[in-house]
């Protein structure tokens, strides 16, 4: 009798542990993307950030998009992180355009004028996505919206980039 009782208790404990474990695992799977986005909102277009110098001056810009890599410090309450960023930047008349190189289809990196079949366009090698010089997505290719665009400031001739903005 006591043996049987001990056996029954142990089975109940086994079920409790198993269900707790499976429930915890499922909850972690559902919550982890939310926690990640809460801690790292800069991954999303539109996240708040300061303007940072990208190490080039306005004089160095031409009407040909050039890729610039830089670091951006991002703060979200108590959480500060340093992130590597890139932009395709060029001059359009008096305006300075700085585009995100992240393809708006599934996030690969686009390059300017890199495919001989599609000159003078941003080309994404992952699924043949294409964008015009101003970042507009080309119809009939996978991306359904333009490349995101940075806020730009010029201070004493130096280029500063800020928040990334999503366009539709």
Q: Is 101 in the site for ligand FES (CB under 6 A)?
A: no
Query: For residue 19, with 0-12 CB atoms within 10 Å meaning exposed, 13-18 middle and 19 or more buried, which class applies?
Result: exposed
Q: Is 99 in the site for ligand FES (CB under 6 A)?
A: no
Q: Is 41 in the site for ligand FES (CB under 6 A)?
A: no
Q: Is 142 in the site for ligand FES (CB under 6 A)?
A: yes
Q: Is 106 in the site for ligand FES (CB under 6 A)?
A: yes
Tell me how far, at minimum, the Cβ of 19 lies from ligand FES, in Å: 40
Q: Phi first, then psi: what are they for 23, rounded to 5°? A: -60, -45
**Contact pick of 42, 105, 123, 164 for ligand FES (by CB under 6 A):** 105
Pseudo-torsion of CA 85, 113, 129, 163, nearest 10°?
Answer: 30
Q: For residue 159, what are its two tokens?
A: 């280029």
Q: Is 103 in the site for ligand FES (CB under 6 A)?
A: yes
Tell me how far, at minimum, the Cβ of 144 lies from ligand FES, in Å: 10
Of 67, 147, 43, residue with least CA distance to 105: 147
Q: Is 129 in the site for ligand FES (CB under 6 A)?
A: yes
Tell me how far, at minimum, the Cβ of 143 lies from ligand FES, in Å: 6
Assess contact for 137 and 146: CB atoms under 8 A: yes
* Residue at shortest CB range from ligand FES: 129
Distance of alpha carbon 83 from alpha carbon 78, whole angstroms: 16
Residues at the interface with ligand FES (CB under 6 A):
103, 105-108, 124, 126-127, 129, 142-143
């Amino acid at each position: 009798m006591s043996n049987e009782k001990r056996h029954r208790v142990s089975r109940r404990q086994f079920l409790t542990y198993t269900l707790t474990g499976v429930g915890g695992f499922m909850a972690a799977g559902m919550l982890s993307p939310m926690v990640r986005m809460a801690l790292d909102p800069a991954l999303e277009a539109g996240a708040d950030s300061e303007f940072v110098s990208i190490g080039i001056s306005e004089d160095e810009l031409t009407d040909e998009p050039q890729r610039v890599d830089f670091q951006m410090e991002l703060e979200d309450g108590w959480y500060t992180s340093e992130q590597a960023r890139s932009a395709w930047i060029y001059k359009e008349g008096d305006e300075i355009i700085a585009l995100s190189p992240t393809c708006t289809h599934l996030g690969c990196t686009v390059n300017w004028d890199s495919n001989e079949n599609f000159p003078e366009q941003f080309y994404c090698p992952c699924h043949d996505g294409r964008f015009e010089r101003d970042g507009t997505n080309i119809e009939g290719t996978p991306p359904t919206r333009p490349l995101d665009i940075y806020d730009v400031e010029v201070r004493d001739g130096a280029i500063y980039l800020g928040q990334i903005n999503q366009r539709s």
